[in-house]
Amino acid sequence: MLQKAWWRAFACMGGVLRAEPVWVETFTGLRMGRFEELLRVVRERGGNGPGGGRPWCLPLAERVLLVAVYYRTNLT
């Protein structure tokens, strides 16, 4: 029961983080143009992975945003 409630709460959080200018600039310190450049480089270098295994839940832009925030804050 507890596990199902946790998953429902987690699934509802899907719309919280978005790669929008206000979030990107506030939490990463990058201007949106730089973030888009970073996103382009990640996409060109195969950021979506080899295509095998379980599919990603978050779009590539939001995954890059998470990593950028992690590197800036060093919070887990």
List, as one string, the DSSP characters of the chain. -HHHHHHHHHHHGGGT----HHHHHHHH---HHHHHHHHHHHHHTTTT-SS-SSPPSS-HHHHHHHHHHHHHH---
Please tell me the pTM assigned to this model.
0.72
In a domain, 13, yes or no: no
Structural domain harbouring 65: 18-73
- The 10s digit of each residue's pLDDT in 20-41 is 999 999 999 999 999 999 999 9
Count structural domains, the chain.
1
Q: Which tops the pLDDT comparison, 68 or 12?
A: 68
Q: In which band, very low, low, confident or very high, does the pLDDT at 6 lie, cut at 50, 70 and 90?
A: very low
In a domain, 51, yes or no: yes
In a domain, 2, yes or no: no
In a domain, 4, yes or no: no
In a domain, 60, yes or no: yes
- The 10s digit of each residue's pLDDT in 50-70 is 777 888 888 999 999 999 999
